[in-house]
């Protein structure tokens, strides 16, 4: 029964596309801010983004800075 409930709660594919589009737009806004402010380090970039976009998840701020998980 738990598996069926989990399947029902997953967003529809169209919803996933909308969410991805919103995230892409937010990352673009963050990158534009960084281009204007020209931070000197990744940590400064993340601090600026945290202050400017407090509700954005860390994963989006990291994506905007261009850091990749290795």
Relative orientation angle of helices 42-52 and 13-37, to the nearest 10 degrees: 120
- Has this prediction a pTM greater than 0.75? no
pLDDT along the chain (70 residues), means of 10: 52 65 92 96 96 95 81
Distance of CA 41 to the CA centre of its chain: 19
By the 8 A CB rule, do 63 and 48 touch? Answer: no
Ranges of each domain in the chain: 17-65
């Amino acid at each position: 029964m738990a598996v069926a409930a989990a399947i029902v709660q997953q967003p529809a594919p169209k919803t996933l596309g909308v969410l991805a589009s919103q995230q892409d737009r937010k990352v673009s806004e963050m990158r534009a801010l960084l281009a204007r402010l020209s931070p000197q380090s990744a940590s400064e970039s993340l601090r600026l983004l945290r202050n400017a976009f407090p509700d954005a998840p860390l994963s989006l701020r990291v994506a905007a800075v261009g850091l990749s998980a290795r």
